[in-house]
Amino acid sequence: MTKRDYGLELTNNSKVGWAFSLPRNKTCVNATTICKKLCYGNGIRYQSAGQKAKRERNFRTIQFLLSEGGPKLLSQNLSLMVDQARPRDWLCAKITDTQTEIPWTLRIHDIGDFHCAEYVEAWFLTAQKYPDCKFWFYTRSFAEVELFSALIKLAALPNCRGWLSVDSENFEQAILAKCNIESSIWNFAMLQDPEMHDEVLSSLKIVETSAKIINFPYHRGGRHVQPLRDSILINCPAVVGGLNLQSSKDVVRPCQSCSMCLP
């Protein structure tokens, strides 16, 4: 690698489809002990030299573009990736007013998180330019006011959906963040760790009286912990429902077909 090794590159994830990744140690600014321990980014498929190099190159490029031209310059380059994720039959579908064979979606961060407000602004500018693309993300970056304010703006876009990612350590902080803003923008995505206590769900239910909480029971190697059952919870079908993960980018992925987390 040289200092000129730059470029932004998507990942084609077998669960979500096209996604963008960043190194966790540099961007997960509000990571909890639990999420560090249980993150699927610890899995072997994410530990290859190539996968790590891609995430580092993405981060290095982001920092360079922000320093050289701010969010607008970075957005121009993020846009190239969104174009890459565009279904090949998109133009024909647009002309004939039909659906594309595969939905046009992009998950912001299958690994990593939002680490600064300028970076969030770049995604906001990008998502604005592509109303036909559905963006979504999960984040723990709701502790710092300026950063979370930028995320509120991004999540409020009609083609973007943001989830407050909660666990046994940060659920109280997430509740405060949700209560201090327009609550309809956000829902909770809960990481159910193997030793989760009842206080977490009971506290979230005080805030979420009608909306649903997406629950991700901890899983690894095709196995998962016994999912919690509650009227307010929706257990992720890709985790508990045995949905087949597809390696081909030419088939609809589980998150795209379920679409519960998408805008």
User: What is the Cα 8 distance to its own chain's centre?
Assistant: 17
User: Which residues does 247 contact at the CB level (< 8 Å), separation at least 6?
Assistant: 14
CA separation for the pair 127, 121 (Å, rounded): 10
Q: Specify the pTM.
A: 0.93
How confident is the model at residue 250, as a pLDDT? 78
Q: What is the pLDDT of residues 199-227, one digit of tens each?
A: 999 999 888 877 789 999 988 777 788 89
Is residue 101 a contact partner of residue 89, using CB atoms and an 8 Å limit?
yes
Three-class DSSP category at 128: helix
Q: What is the pLDDT of residues 82-135, one digit of tens each?
A: 999 999 999 999 999 999 999 999 999 999 999 999 999 999 999 999 999 999
CA neighbor of 140 nearest in space, from 104, 169, 160, 119: 169
Q: What is the pLDDT of residues 2-59, one digit of tens each?
A: 556 999 999 998 889 999 999 999 999 999 999 999 988 888 778 889 999 999 999 9
